């Protein structure tokens, strides 16, 4: 996921990232979920799309000066 910061620069604040075709309730290591749920510039939610598949939808947050 080294290219993740560059890819996030392509998404405008308020823009969406959708990652689908995931297994719901995955408990093992998952770099994609770790990025989408752990990145400070994203707010993400996981939704069931069928009983056997899920999608993560993330919105890029506005930059804040701390």
- Other CB atoms within a 10 A radius of the CB of residue 50 amount to 8
Nearest alpha-carbon partner for 61 in 12, 2, 1? 12
> Given this model, what pLDDT does residue 17 score?
96
Q: Does the pLDDT of residue 45 top 70, yes or no?
A: yes
Q: Spell out the residues 6+ positions from residue 37 whose beta carbon is closer than 8 angstroms to its own.
A: 44, 56
Q: Is 39 within 8 Å of 8 (Cβ atoms)?
A: yes
Higher pLDDT, 57 or 8: 57
**Residue 4: per-residue pLDDT:** 65
pLDDT band for 5, please (50, 70, 90 cuts). Answer: low
pTM to 2 decimal places: 0.82
């Amino acid at each position: 996921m080294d290219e993740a910061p560059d890819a996030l620069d392509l998404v405008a604040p308020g823009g969406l990232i959708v990652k689908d075709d995931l297994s719901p309730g995955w408990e093992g290591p998952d770099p994609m979920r770790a990025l989408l749920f752990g990145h400070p510039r994203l707010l993400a939610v996981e939704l069931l799309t069928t009983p056997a598949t899920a999608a993560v939808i993330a919105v890029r947050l506005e930059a804040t000066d701390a």
